Amino acid sequence: MFKTRLISGIVLVIAALILFLTGGKLLWAAMMLISAVGLYEFYKAVRLFWDKIAVIGFLAMVAYYVLLLFIDADRALGLMISGLIILLLVFLVVTYPSYQISQLGVVVLGVIYIPVMLSFIYLTRSLPHGKCLVWLIFLAAWGSDTLAYCTGMLIGKHKMTPRLSPKKTIEGGIGGVLGAALLGVIYAAIMHAASPATGAHIGWYALICAVGAVISMFGDLAASAIKRSFDIKDFGNLIPGHGGILDRFDSIIITAPVIYFLCLYLL
């Protein structure tokens, strides 16, 4: 299992390198594809994928990504959400009384939780110096997760959420946050040495990675809560040794928008 996870991890890193260095429409297309798979996994987990109401969610996802190519993210999001709500309410009326309002809420949650949140990877890459900044998302999420695991294995004693994720410890969480801050410092120093024009500020990078690490833990735990609520082990099996897209990107999903806005206003 470890060998499989390692190989899959290496492939993911290589793919990320290609996508982030290239950026533009290649990254845009990749994020839309990843979002589509993630949305499928989510609707399948909550027992909605085989229902025609899920089609509205996928249409909203495609519309949102297409809009991102032509208008700014704020207007794209506003247009997509407005259209999604209108379509769902029309659907509710036309199909009445076949659907409950709670089902409409799950469709909206899926669109916001996955395609919109993941799109901030593309939006972060589109910022000035985005080629450097986008990696902060992964340093904060995957970096902190690895360091939290190592710290927890070494000195972890106090359970963080015994009922939700028994293996996670408070000590591990603290180690993950501090480790992410250190990774931010190291990364900022490397970026500044490579290209002073990137404007790498060590203190801000450390803060951004630390905050991202805290948020990423909740992303991981939230995904666990969803899976436990529907009694499933993994969202899918697309990535050998890791599970589905949502299993691998659960912490990335809610970390990406946080890193985007921190970079936008702090750097």
Q: What is the pLDDT of residues 229-246, one digit of tens each?
A: 888 888 877 776 667 899
For residue 190, what pLDDT is reported?
87
CA 68 to chain CA centroid, nearest Å: 18
Instruction: Round to the nearest angstrom and report the end-to-end CA distance of the chain.
Output: 40
- pTM equals 0.92
Coil vs helix vs strand at 217: helix
Number of domains in the chain: 1
Mean pLDDT of 64-77: 95
Best-predicted range by mean pLDDT among 9-13, 145-149, 203-207?
203-207
**Residue 226 structural domain:** 2-266
Tell me which of 38-52, 87-101, 198-212 is least confident: 198-212
For residue 25, what pLDDT is reported?
94
Residue 174 vs residue 9, higher pLDDT: 174
Residue 153 vs residue 10, higher pLDDT: 153
Report the percent of the chain where pLDDT is more than 70: 94
Coil vs helix vs strand at 1: coil
Mark residue 231 as left, alpha or beta (left: phi above 0; alpha: psi -120 to 50; beta: remaining).
left
pLDDT at 1 over 60: no
* Tokens linked to 218: 């909740």
For residue 196, what pLDDT is reported?
64
- Average pLDDT over the chain reads 89
pLDDT at 4 over 80: no
Mean pLDDT of 177-203: 81
> HSE (CB half, 13 Å, CA atoms) of 120?
23
Query: Which one, of 119, 179, 120, lies nearest residue 154 by Cα?
Result: 179
Mean pLDDT of 55-67: 96
For residue 21, what pLDDT is reported?
85
| DSSP 8-state assignment for residue 239 | B
Coil vs helix vs strand at 231: coil
Query: Which one, of 71, 72, 60, lies nearest residue 35 by Cα?
Result: 60
For residue 246, what pLDDT is reported?
92
Q: What is the band of 198 on the pLDDT scale with cuts at 50, 70, 90?
A: low
